[in-house]
Chains A and B, each alone.
Chain A
């Protein structure tokens, strides 16, 4: 069963996976580094690590970037087919399995496209293979390689001779390194890439045949559940196994420091045992009051980073004709996967296999090895899709849970988290406060911008060696990574705005190099990371959605003070043409009515409407989006109803326009749910938003707005990420539209009806 690809590659030919064996229906910290990997046992500099061609011409390709529901399976299959010049049906893509795929770190941070579609890795591997095959044929026939063409997996020579890939190389290794010079096919030549190829998983999904990690069943498998602490920070005093021993099918209670789990023959028995197990806990230290939390977090010792500082901001603001200031608050929010997380582990002696929906198979391999005290090479982690995650949901923690329980019983164990396990203990999207101040001239123009933000952090992605960054690791005795309080140092190096801490409108100058998107040269941006009482981790558009909410609403406030049109006002300060272009494209497609906000003559009763805009250069340069939101506000109830969104997206050359559209539409509606409803709540001891009655989400019954999507298809630039650009601008665009409609500025997410009513009452 266990395949060691390393040995396979050494000892024989290419590793070709047959189609039937691994078809789609069978198993086979805030920082999200772009390609953060350790040296792999599968050498990514060698072509054979990425590709193999069978005697029948089928292509098996290996990737370390997996499909989380964002469409990476289909689009990477297109990529291989395109660069290798084979029909898409002939490509079998194997995702994220530490036995056969190269280590590409984590599938996250909108990095899969930049990593695998630009100048290296999977794209370059397929191009290298095509070039190598053409060279082989040229040598065979004594012709010039330049005169040969490859189409549909067949090479044709000048003389008209033809040979299929399978005949040329079939089942043999290439034994060559990845070429850096292998010519890539240009977007103008594309026949498979750039097309709206329907998602390859759709038939299996729609007919219920698709295998999710929740469906993995292995022979002899038992069922496990975990018993998490009743409050944050509680520790185990005693566990009474006798309280569950009589349950039929009961196998074992597993206690490892504060980690408690139960194993039984059947799922219901495990769930019952988890409910009934008597555990005495030492109480936790208690939690800060939620009502004053945003003030509280600003008082905490912080790890501070000065990102840009022109040294004249305070002076410029004092000197300025007027100044405007505002503070924005963004709550903890949940990934809230619709399926509570699940994993299966089979640990026998010093060897382990884990079927996991983790975004990080290699890091998970290393952490499982560390938790179990076994060699990394003895652990195989196989990615199997879970419920959509949008970042670090419970997938990593439950993989560790399953490994610990299987290790304790010596049999395969499947762990299904309960809804409460998932929602109370996942790594939340971070709470954040942003304080903005700008100095303005007599016309309301911006002369200086000061931005100071506080963001919370505890744990995060476990990476290759930090089990304590998620709940299971902490319970098992490992510490989470926490901010290291230190004063800010002078910024160095060119600005990289990865967390969008810096507003788009400032010049972003550090040591004479200006990496910002705008032209405001009097600028100071400082951010503080403070310890969170709860686990935090990347949640779709981590830190970027929080910061963009604050920047884009504040830009609107300054624009309103200047009595300027919010689109025209933005364009005055943008020097980055790609941000300006998405703003113009969204305004044009959304038939933007040029005038200042708020709307003139707002009625005092009934339903009012307004429009707002927001834009972002995601991570500074990894995708661009601008969004026009049109909303209605019911002045009697405070209910906010988005009616129409018009979004413009630029992510460079588009690999699959239908996939991009799907991501963009979903991002906008997910952003709407988060802007209007979603907030993690707690009392003095524990998280209280632990199910779908206590944590609100927009259901399918929601009266949907129209969503119009416009793409700027740039073919002369590298491809960027696209899964997180649209969601990043949603809370700001809605907030600005609410202001336009009502004259009320909501500076705290979510924009609940209660909050809207309070603002309307304050307005009078």
Chain B
């Protein structure tokens, strides 16, 4: 066990933890965050995605100690019900979900890709989402929402 300092969604936390604990378990169990989900535990599906160092990361395989001083942003950190982020608004407008379990992976992966390359083509967006699974197959609406968000950023 060691003392770990962790910044999540703008708040600083100090936690006594095994430094090998996957970041996902810390976010869910210690900090009570709901958005990052356990999907596979093997970085194969994206349900546990968070943003660290502007990158979409799979928190199920990332030891909490690897975060260091960087801020972790989860889907709830992106925007709130009262003040959603524009990409969240685009997903709401398109009704881009069914069960919604996969949304951390879909929204945060797309956001990180578009932050890195705002002019990304549809093909580049698809490529970025190449490792994200949605088993309800709400793909059409999700990609429409992402396109809408990307276009609104350009405008």
* B80 interface contact, C-beta 8 A: yes
Q: Is the CB of B97 within 8 A of A665?
A: no
User: C-beta contact mask, B123-155 vs A, less than 8 Å → 1, else 0?
Assistant: 000111111111111111111000000000000
Task: Please indicate the chain A residues that have their CB under 8 angstroms from the CB of B98 in the complex.
Answer: 69-71, 388, 662-663, 666
Give A140 Cβ to nearest chain B Cβ, in Å.
Answer: 41
Task: Please indicate the chain B residues that have their CB under 8 angstroms from the CB of A198 in the complex.
Answer: 92, 95
A94-102, A293-301, A619-627, A699-707 - interface stretch: A699-707
Task: Please indicate the chain A residues that have their CB under 8 angstroms from the CB of B29 in the complex.
Answer: 217, 223, 266-267
CB within 8 Å of A: which B32-63 residues = 32-35, 37-42, 44-45, 47
Give B141 Cβ to nearest chain A Cβ, in Å.
Answer: 7
Q: Is the CB of B133 within 8 A of A699?
A: yes
* A211 interface contact, C-beta 8 A: yes
- B75 nearest in chain A by CB position: A208
Q: Provide the main secondary structure of the chain B interface.
A: loop
* A68 interface contact, C-beta 8 A: yes
Given contacts A207-B80, A212-B37, A691-B40, contact A699 B130 (CB under 8 A): yes
Q: Is the CB of B139 within 8 A of A704?
A: yes
* A457 interface contact, C-beta 8 A: no
- B88 nearest in chain A by CB position: A206
A254-262, A315-323, A332-340, A560-568 - interface stretch: A332-340
CB within 8 Å of B: which A477-529 residues = none
Task: Please indicate the chain B residues that have their CB under 8 angstroms from the CB of A340 in the complex.
Answer: 38-41
We find that the number of chain A residues with CB closer than 8 angstroms to chain B is 64
- A338 nearest in chain B by CB position: B135
Q: Is the CB of B40 within 8 A of A419?
A: yes
Task: Please indicate the chain B residues that have their CB under 8 angstroms from the CB of A418 in the complex.
Answer: 41
Q: Is the CB of B92 within 8 A of A339?
A: no
Complex Cα distance A128/B129, Å?
49
Q: Provide the main secondary structure of the chain A interface.
A: loop
Most A CB atoms within 10 A — which of B106, B127, B137?
B137
Task: Please indicate the chain B residues that have their CB under 8 angstroms from the CB of A248 in the complex.
Answer: 1, 18
* A697 interface contact, C-beta 8 A: yes
Q: Is the CB of A692 within 8 A of B40?
A: yes
Most A CB atoms within 10 A — which of B28, B35, B129, B132?
B35
Partner of B84, one of A70, A206, A212: A206
Q: Is the CB of B40 within 8 A of A388?
A: no
Given contacts A665-B140, A700-B139, A700-B143, contact A205 B106 (CB under 8 A): no
- A337 nearest in chain B by CB position: B135
CB within 8 Å of B: which A666-683 residues = 666-670, 672-673
- B99 nearest in chain A by CB position: A69
Q: Is the CB of B139 within 8 A of A207?
A: no
CB within 8 Å of B: which A182-216 residues = 198-199, 201-212, 214-215
Given contacts A215-B28, A338-B45, A702-B139, contact A207 B81 (CB under 8 A): yes
* A79 interface contact, C-beta 8 A: no
Given contacts A210-B100, A212-B101, A266-B29, contact A699 B136 (CB under 8 A): no
- A666 nearest in chain B by CB position: B137
CB within 8 Å of B: which A682-719 residues = 691-693, 697-704, 707
Give B47 Cβ to nearest chain A Cβ, in Å.
Answer: 6
* A387 interface contact, C-beta 8 A: yes
Given contacts A267-B25, A268-B21, A340-B39, contact A699 B97 (CB under 8 A): no
Task: Please indicate the chain A residues that have their CB under 8 angstroms from the CB of B138 in the complex.
Answer: 662, 665-666
Q: Is the CB of B92 within 8 A of A202?
A: yes
Partner of B42, one of A670, A691, A700: A691
Q: Is the CB of A692 within 8 A of B45?
A: yes
Complex Cα distance A670/B98, Å?
12
Partner of A209, one of B28, B34, B135: B34
Most A CB atoms within 10 A — which of B1, B37, B139?
B139
Give A661 Cβ to nearest chain B Cβ, in Å.
Answer: 9
Give A196 Cβ to nearest chain B Cβ, in Å.
Answer: 9
Task: Please indicate the chain B residues that have their CB under 8 angstroms from the CB of A208 in the complex.
Answer: 33-35, 74-76, 78, 103-104
* A658 interface contact, C-beta 8 A: yes
Complex Cα distance A627/B89, Å?
32
Q: Is the CB of B137 within 8 A of A669?
A: yes
User: C-beta contact mask, B1-34 vs A, less than 8 Å → 1, else 0?
Assistant: 1000000000000000010111001001100111
- B129 nearest in chain A by CB position: A700
Q: Is the CB of A701 within 8 A of B130?
A: yes
Most B CB atoms within 10 A — which of A271, A338, A418, A707?
A338
- A701 nearest in chain B by CB position: B130
Partner of A217, one of B1, B25, B32, B100: B32
* A437 interface contact, C-beta 8 A: no
* A342 interface contact, C-beta 8 A: yes
Task: Please indicate the chain B residues that have their CB under 8 angstroms from the CB of A388 in the complex.
Answer: 98-99, 101, 135-136
- B133 nearest in chain A by CB position: A338
Give A246 Cβ to nearest chain B Cβ, in Å.
Answer: 14
Given contacts A199-B95, A670-B136, contact A338 B44 (CB under 8 A): no
* A58 interface contact, C-beta 8 A: no
Complex Cα distance A388/B99, Å?
5
Partner of B97, one of A205, A215, A386: A205
Jot down 15 A-B pairs with beta carbons below 8 A, ordered by A: A202-B91, A206-B92, A208-B33, A267-B29, A340-B40, A386-B101, A416-B38, A419-B42, A665-B137, A665-B141, A669-B137, A691-B40, A699-B130, A700-B143, A703-B126
Q: Taking beta carbons and an 8 Å cutoff, which residues of B are in contact with A?
A: 1, 18, 20-22, 25, 28-29, 32-35, 37-42, 44-45, 47, 74-76, 78-81, 84, 88-89, 91-92, 95, 97-104, 106-107, 126-143
Closest 8 pairs between A and B when the two form their complex, measured CB to CB: A208-B35, A69-B99, A701-B130, A208-B75, A388-B99, A669-B137, A700-B129, A205-B100
Apart from A658-B95, A666-B137, A673-B137: 17 A-B pairs, beta carbons within 8 A = A203-B92, A207-B88, A209-B34, A210-B100, A214-B28, A214-B38, A266-B21, A268-B18, A268-B25, A339-B47, A385-B99, A662-B141, A665-B137, A666-B138, A691-B44, A692-B40, A701-B129
